[in-house]
Amino acid sequence: MDKIIAGLMFAGGLYFGMILLLELGRRLGRLRQRKDEEAARAGLGAVEGAVFALLGLLIAFTFSGAALRFDARRQLIVQEANAIGTAWLRLSLLPAKA
């Protein structure tokens, strides 16, 4: 029980810490933008490129995992169909009364 409470407190602390730092960054950005409009936008292109690259990687890994699961599911269906077909063929070997 103590681990659950500690985990929830840790997650809550991280959540509120992120919210606090996001607000701090927003205020600092607004302050910097008021002082010099051109300097505030100077390094934004590189940051946007990095964020979009990471988003692209995340999407690529997601689709890759989904494709792997789809292929595994397809293989299981083929194996089950082969097993049913084999059982059907083996049934024809038995006499009709059996």
Predicted confidence (pLDDT) per residue in 9-22, tens digit = 999 999 999 999 99
* pTM, two decimal places: 0.51
> For tokens 């910097």, what's the residue?
32
* Burial (Cβ within 10 Å: 0-12, 13-18, ≥19) of residue 40: middle
Give the pLDDT confidence score for residue 98 in this predicted structure: 63
Instruction: Report how far Cα 77 is from the mean position of its chain's Cα atoms.
Output: 26
CA-based nearest residue to 67, from 77, 78, 75, 55: 75
Residues 11 and 97: their CA atoms lie apart, in Å, by: 67
34-49 mean pLDDT? 78
pLDDT band at 78 (very low <50, low <70, confident <90, very high): very high
pLDDT band at 36 (very low <50, low <70, confident <90, very high): confident
Give the pLDDT confidence score for residue 79 in this predicted structure: 97
Note whether 32 and 40 are within 8 A (CB): yes
pLDDT band at 90 (very low <50, low <70, confident <90, very high): confident
Sign of the dihedral defined by the CA atoms of residues 20, 26, 27, 28, in that order: positive
